[in-house]
Amino acid sequence: MKVLSVASEVYPLIKTGGLADVAGALPAALASHGVDMRVLLPGYRSVMAKIRQPLRLREFDDLFGASAAILAGKVDGMDWLVLDAPEFFDRDGGPYTDAAGLDHPDNWRRFAALCKAAAEIAEHGLGGWKPDIVHAHDWQAGLVPVYLGQGAAAATPSVMTVHNLAFQGQFGADIFPELGLPQSVFSMEGVEYYGDVSFLKGGLQLASAITTVSPTYAQEIRRPDFGMGLDGLINARAADLHGIVNGIDTKVWDPSGDPLIDTNYSASKLKKRQANRKALAERFGLEDGDGPVFTVISRLTWQKGIDLLTEAADDIVAMGGRIAILGAGDAALEGALLAAAARHRGAIGLVIGYDEPLSHIMQAGGDALLVPSRFEPCGLTQLYGLRYGNVPVVARTGGLADTVIDANEAASAARVATGFQFAPVTTDQLREAVRRAIRAFAEPKVWARLQNQGMKADVSWERSAARYAALYRELLSKQRPTE
């Protein structure tokens, strides 16, 4: 079964968030399920610099006004398909923003080009390879099902995966004539959304199936308070909606072999974690103490509940906790955290920025991982936390609710608890969850059990890959009824 996956970021080529991890991990995870997945991503400057031995498989003289080509190339032994369109992607800054952090004004054109190129691959194939299914990720790939529906490959099933409904790719109606779509597509049944063009809405409307990255989030987005204006549409498509939780790359994230951490360890060698705790404390300037070190590895945004953390910080320190924070994001939240770190020198350490190696050091050396998100489609940091014995303390929402088992009385007695959950997502409840964690930490046996149970949890792609493969098969069987 051949599947073309289309994403705007793919680890290890380019990453700003969890989408990249998922898009990067799926091909390998699906290979053992009989799926030959190829991934198409934009040829950003940094991606082009990494691609080795590129083969030009298809040229476009005029793709939304630019000359472009689809290249196949290798990075670290893996094959990727790259849309090389220098006019769109050879720029300073990140995948979506310029060096000053502002959205590129032509983002709609850049990602429409990606979607159009994907539909062309489905129609004409690429070097003899033609997908049976096309799998689009997030708004940047939202027009894939839309373009697909217009061409010769209209019967090719498509899957639209929502990694975060908050980002929808909404643009003024004035761009519509430039998308090269028939006027009928600017309607309720197509990309029209309250008079604007919405890439994600178009994808959700027209994809054969919709998935999101956890069962709880799949239910939440059917409600007005989580649906971001799309709950009506999502409800209408509920029969085609699936919640499939993300896995993690258990080779990259493996405390027993991770080259980025001070001392490797495993569930049966938890004492060795001590050296990593020390390394973490040194890195963040934390003084010794009896209480746990809470870690935060996150975008610093309202979604992630970082304002709750700033409000609770003084009390967490007063209760005997220390906090190590790595993140970047809203200037106001960065400022509030810097102020908290200045107030509590030695108890709160902060690194502003994005630092993948440091995130490994934190997972290996932290006692608990704080994730106070207001909404969280899946969340990956808590999965890394489980795997590294960095006990997650999480808001009970989305994928956090699905992947962490709260240490309540019943779960503790049954020895299945892996962390702490709190709800509703308020500063008071966060404080209360921290209090519970500090109490459990004071009992080394209780804590070690939590770490052990978490480290044994299956956070691999195995089960979820099987679910994606089953979904693809189901879509193909619907497309081609058995004779």
Instruction: Give 196's strand partners.
Output: 193
Pairing of strands 241-243, 209-212: parallel
Q: Does 297 bind ligand ADP (CB under 6 A)?
A: yes
CA distance 391 to 365: 11
Among the listed ranges 34-42, 82-90, 147-155, 291-299, the one in contact with ligand ADP (CB under 6 A) is 291-299
Q: Does 167 bind ligand ADP (CB under 6 A)?
A: no
Q: How far is the CB of 407 from ligand ADP (least distance, A)?
A: 21
Task: Closer to ligand ADP by CB, 206 or 368: give it.
Answer: 368
- Hey, is 174 helix, strand or coil? helix
Q: How far is the CB of 46 from ligand ADP (least distance, A)?
A: 16
**229, 233, 239, 245 alpha-carbon torsion, rounded to 10°:** -30
- In order, the DSSP letters of 391-445 are EEEEESSHHHHHH--B--HHHHHTT---BEEESS-SHHHHHHHHHHHHHHHTSHH
How many of the other CB atoms lie within 10 Å of CB of 235? 13
Pairing of strands 52-63, 66-75: antiparallel
Q: Tell which phi-psi region holds residue 271, choosing left (phi > 0), alpha (psi between -120 and 50) or beta.
A: alpha
Q: Does 337 bind ligand ADP (CB under 6 A)?
A: no
Q: Does 355 bind ligand ADP (CB under 6 A)?
A: yes
Q: What are phi and psi of 149, to 5 degrees?
A: -65, -15
Of residues 356, 428, 458, 462, which one binds ligand ADP by CB under 6 A? 356
Alpha helices in 229-321 (DSSP H): 231-236, 273-284, 306-318
Q: How far is the CB of 361 from ligand ADP (least distance, A)?
A: 10
Q: Does 326 bind ligand ADP (CB under 6 A)?
A: yes
Among the listed ranges 34-42, 66-74, 296-304, 432-440, the one in contact with ligand ADP (CB under 6 A) is 296-304
Task: Closer to ligand ADP by CB, 14 or 70: give it.
Answer: 14
Q: Are 465 and 5 in contact (CB under 8 A)?
A: no
Of residues 327, 366, 389, 398, which one binds ligand ADP by CB under 6 A? 327
Of residues 18, 95, 305, 398, which one binds ligand ADP by CB under 6 A? 18
Q: How far is the CB of 294 from ligand ADP (least distance, A)?
A: 15
Q: How far is the CB of 355 from ligand ADP (least distance, A)?
A: 5
Q: Does 1 bind ligand ADP (CB under 6 A)?
A: no
* The one-letter amino acid at 147: Y
The residue whose Cβ lies closest to ligand ADP is 18
Q: How far is the CB of 12 from ligand ADP (least distance, A)?
A: 12
Q: Does 292 bind ligand ADP (CB under 6 A)?
A: no
Q: What are phi and psi of 470, to 5 degrees?
A: -65, -40
The residues binding ligand ADP (CB under 6 A) are 17-18, 21, 297-299, 326-328, 354-356, 359, 378-381
